Amino acid sequence: MNTILEMARHRLEGRAQKLVVAGCLVERFRDQIRENIPEVDAVVGTGELEQILGAAGVAPPPESNSPFRILSSRREGDARQARGRFSRAGWDGAIADLPSSLYDETTPRVLATPRHMAYIKIAEGCDHPCTFCIIPQLRGKFRSRRLESVVAEAERLARSGVREITLIGQDTTCYGEDLELKDGLALLLERLAQIEDLRWVRFLYAYPNKITGRLLETIVAHDKICSYVDVPLQHASPEVLRRMKRGGGADVFLRTIEKARRTIPDVTLRTSFIVGFPGETEKEFEELCDFVRAARFDWMGTFGYSNQEGAGAYSLDNKVHAKEVELRRKHLMQIQRQISRKRKKALLGKEFDLLLEGASEETDLLLEGRTAMHAPEIDGKVFVNETPDRVEAQAGQFYRCQIVEAHDYDLVARIL
């Protein structure tokens, strides 16, 4: 909202010609945005991608030449739809249509990331029933892009200079299920690993019970696929996970982690948790803390529970007080800080490939980059404090580096 208000000032003062608000927020607060911010020229929900052209004053292409493709869905999604999972009844200004289309390899695209890296959305929507989440109502049923479409886009990006690709979707491990593909994500990764000009391929947002042996073996079999698994677990107490309608628990998660570490010895593990879910007792929170100590993640994020109208958990009793939620969040991050410090220290003296990203955002005196252990934008940083005279360090290039300092989350390296 603050960003929209900031842009509204530009619109008012004539520095912006049009102000179009697009995306999830529109699905949730369409009428309020229109009523309270008159500077907004148009709102475009997640199911109205094509209307963004009209909103920007550009004639839309004929329907036969749409840049978006209507995609299929899975039986699980259809069944959940029948049970009301995607219903927006009672939402202020929500329109009936859920998004059903997604871009493909022929859709014109402007990269908003640096030239050497790109995200590729391989699927849209989600069929899971997590009770804290309204993404399914915002993004619709899970549906995948065709495998050939993703590969063609990756090849095109590689030709234009992209060296690192990060695959995203609400649940990337479901990829291909609606296309009757078995092990769809593993198959896709195998194909992407064949693209010569790419150096790193990774995927984010795995669903815990979808991390198969085949997927782990595919990661370890290809140098270009980063040994990196991001699996948001949300909690570790079986009781809380049951109320979240996610299933699982500390024991089964630890077995999955152990299997990942056994199959991919240098694997980097990332996860995120929600603390203060309605009814979370001291004991359940302690179970989560014990699990975090045992799992020793490389990267971890913690969010305080946020009560979303329209989510299943909205009507649950025993909400945890906001102050307590924040205390628990800080406590869990404190535990992780110590684990992270130890894990980063263990990297001292080791050598890695580093993708240089340019001058550090924090000081002009240092450069900044990432190793395969660091996903773009979310993980800690690697600062570079030394470059040999003969090397002219360039953003977007790969260099061999050695870790010379380790902090709680960040590393310092020298280029060799």
- Please report, as ranges, the residues that interact with ligand SF4 according to CB under 6 A: 126, 128, 130, 133, 135-136, 170-171, 207
Between residues 130 and 158, which has the closer beta carbon with respect to ligand SF4? Answer: 130
Q: In terms of DSSP bridges, do strands 351-359 and 398-406 run parallel, antiparallel, or are they unpaired?
A: antiparallel
The two structure tokens encoding residue 42: 């148009």
Q: Which helix (H) or strand (E) segment is 300 a member of?
A: strand 299-304
Least CB distance from residue 242 to ligand SF4, whole Å? Answer: 14
Least CB distance from residue 395 to ligand SF4, whole Å? Answer: 33
Least CB distance from residue 135 to ligand SF4, whole Å? Answer: 4
Between residues 134 and 401, which has the closer beta carbon with respect to ligand SF4? Answer: 134
Least CB distance from residue 369 to ligand SF4, whole Å? Answer: 30
Between residues 134 and 154, which has the closer beta carbon with respect to ligand SF4? Answer: 134
Q: Which helix (H) or strand (E) segment is 2 a member of?
A: helix 2-12
Least CB distance from residue 128 to ligand SF4, whole Å? Answer: 4
Between residues 207 and 399, which has the closer beta carbon with respect to ligand SF4? Answer: 207
b/e code 56-79 from CB counts within 10 Å (16+ = b): eeeeeeeeeeebebebebbebbee
Between residues 263 and 307, which has the closer beta carbon with respect to ligand SF4? Answer: 307
Cα separation, 270 vs 373, whole angstroms:
10
Least CB distance from residue 307 to ligand SF4, whole Å? Answer: 15
| Residue of 300, 374, 369, 372 whose CA lies nearest to 332 | 300
Between residues 210 and 261, which has the closer beta carbon with respect to ligand SF4? Answer: 210
Q: Of how many residues is the chain composed?
A: 416
Least CB distance from residue 48 to ligand SF4, whole Å? Answer: 20
For the four alpha carbons of 394, 397, 401 and 407, in that order, the dihedral sign comes to positive
- H helix intervals, 184-309: 184-192, 213-221, 238-243, 250-263, 282-295
Between residues 45 and 169, which has the closer beta carbon with respect to ligand SF4? Answer: 169
| Residue of 195, 189, 193, 194 whose CA lies nearest to 215 | 189
Between residues 107 and 272, which has the closer beta carbon with respect to ligand SF4? Answer: 272
Least CB distance from residue 273 to ligand SF4, whole Å? Answer: 12
Cβ-based neighbours of 165, under 8 Å, separated by 6 or more: 117, 118, 119, 120, 154, 157, 192, 198, 200, 201, 202
Q: How far are the Cα atoms of 170, 247, 315 from residue 133, in angstroms, in the given order?
A: 11, 15, 13
Least CB distance from residue 232 to ligand SF4, whole Å? Answer: 7
DSSP annotation of 264 reads S
3-state helix, strand, coil in the chain (%, to 5): 35, 20, 45
Cα separation, 270 vs 298, whole angstroms:
6
Between residues 204 and 367, which has the closer beta carbon with respect to ligand SF4? Answer: 204
